[in-house]
Amino acid sequence: MKRRTFIGSFAAVAALPRIGAVAETTKTSTNHFKNFKVLSPPVVQNPTETSFSVSWRVGGRAAGWVEWGTTKELGKRAKPAHHGLMGMSEHSLSARITDIPENADIYYRVVTLPVHYNNAYSIEQGTAILSEIRRVRLPKAAATTCSLVMVNDTHDHEKTIAALASRVNEINPDALIWNGDACNTFDNPEQVARICLTPGQKALDPASGGWASTRPLFFTLGNHDARGESARTMPEALTPWPDDHNNPNGLATIPVTGGRYCFAKRIGPVAMVCLDTGEDKPDARDVWGGMAAYEPYRAAQKEWLIQALKQPEIANAPYLLTFCHIPLRGRPGDNDGMGETGYAGFSGFGQKLWMQSLIETGCQMILSGHTHRHRIDGPTPQYPLYQVVGGGPKESQARLIRIHADNKQLRLIVEDLEQQEVSNLTLQPRPV
């Protein structure tokens, strides 16, 4: 999909509704907008202590922004823009909210403005559509507890996703981790927006509900998320983490959107390190048509990981967990994904690049997916850490992983879609 942006005089500024006021229709040909709808709840992503991103799906060409504040009166506005251009898309919009006061309650709503683009000097606007006001909880490093839920390998399986989203809302964790393979392939940009942004929406009101509207979503790329003609447009829906000046060369390669999909985050006593394992075959394999560059990307993450693990809030955390889609440990006979045949049962590339750093800094557990079969690998002399692998897309395979931690212990519970406990483990705080 070509990124749909526009240049010239954008008349919307004068026509925008006052924050808190009812939107008014601008003078325009309403026939352009009679079928326009907002097609998903907002999805909160990439949270820091003072910022977060929001994305939402639209059913036609539109611009938009986020109104936010520390009360329901809101009062502030974040507009998606780059290089002087307001963002515009036929499929999904996103904005980043920054400069949030620390420890404040945050309220927000998304505003969607249908747009009909005649030419550079003739841009028509429809009625601005205001979402409901939501309250979002940003996870804090200083919290005394941490509650997480992980799902993986949903592969656009409607019944599985609906059941998982319902359970996430029942548990109401501090954050949700979607550990890769949201799709089979991303074949068109409409599909990207639908798969990434609609989980948990209400059937009769698609812009309501959602599994990450009042809590943040952390997304870790899977190998299938990199497949398909429109895979390169996924950052418009599931946004990368913002660039910083410390990114090693090779990580910040996404045009316009910028950012990276590896990140480190502290929530209460838990430090999360998330890595992008990329594809499950070498770059040189014919199937990629010369279009793969995962090996230098994983190598760049090695340098990033070394620095991330030194950050005081990560190094001093009572618990250190790593999330990555493809496991970093295999079973006997598993393909490492580095050869000329087959595909990875575990990431030999990732293991060689990252495992030693994780072990040396006291990582206690790696959480992955990819195999569609849940298992727990215990510590060994060579790999003195747990590896927990989630389930698959079919309802019988699907697993939801719950994590609750305080300063005394971390408890992990794996359950099926019937909410029956399948397995569990307990970690004690590591010496730091």
Q: Which domains does the chain have, with CATH numbers?
A: 12-136 (2.60.40.10), 146-427 (3.60.21.10)
Residue 96 contacts residue 51 (beta carbons within 8 Å): yes
> Rounded to an integer, what distance in angstroms lies between the CA atom of residue 11 and that of residue 225?
37
Residue 423 identity (one-letter amino acid)? S
Question: Which residue stretches of 79-176 are H helix?
Answer: 158-171
Query: C-alpha dihedral over 38, 233, 178, 387, to 10 degrees?
Result: 180
Residue 121 contacts residue 11 (beta carbons within 8 Å): no
Within 10 Å of residue 405's Cβ, how many Cβ atoms?
Answer: 24
pLDDT value at position 248? Answer: 52
pLDDT value at position 228? Answer: 96
pLDDT value at position 10? Answer: 33
Structure tokens at 379: 């510590």
Torsion angles phi and psi, residue 53, rounded to 5:
-110, 155
Q: Per-residue pLDDT for the chain (432 aa), expressed as one digit of tens each? A: 433 333 333 333 334 444 433 333 344 556 789 889 999 999 999 999 999 999 999 999 999 999 999 999 999 999 888 778 888 999 999 999 999 998 888 999 999 999 998 898 999 999 999 999 999 989 999 999 999 999 999 999 999 999 999 999 999 999 999 999 999 999 999 999 999 999 999 999 999 999 999 999 999 999 999 999 999 999 999 999 986 644 554 444 343 346 789 999 999 999 999 999 999 999 999 999 999 999 999 999 999 999 999 999 999 999 999 999 999 999 999 999 999 999 999 999 999 999 999 999 999 999 999 999 999 999 999 999 999 999 999 999 999 999 999 999 999 999 999 999 999 999 999 998
DSSP classification of residue 408: S
Question: Which residue stretches of 120-277 are H helix?
Answer: 158-171, 189-197
Name the β-bridge partners of 260. 241
Element (H, E) at 413: strand 410-415
> Rounded to an integer, what distance in angstroms lies between the CA atom of residue 81 and that of residue 178?
27
Element (H, E) at 44: strand 43-45
> Rounded to an integer, what distance in angstroms lies between the CA atom of residue 54 and that of residue 138?
13
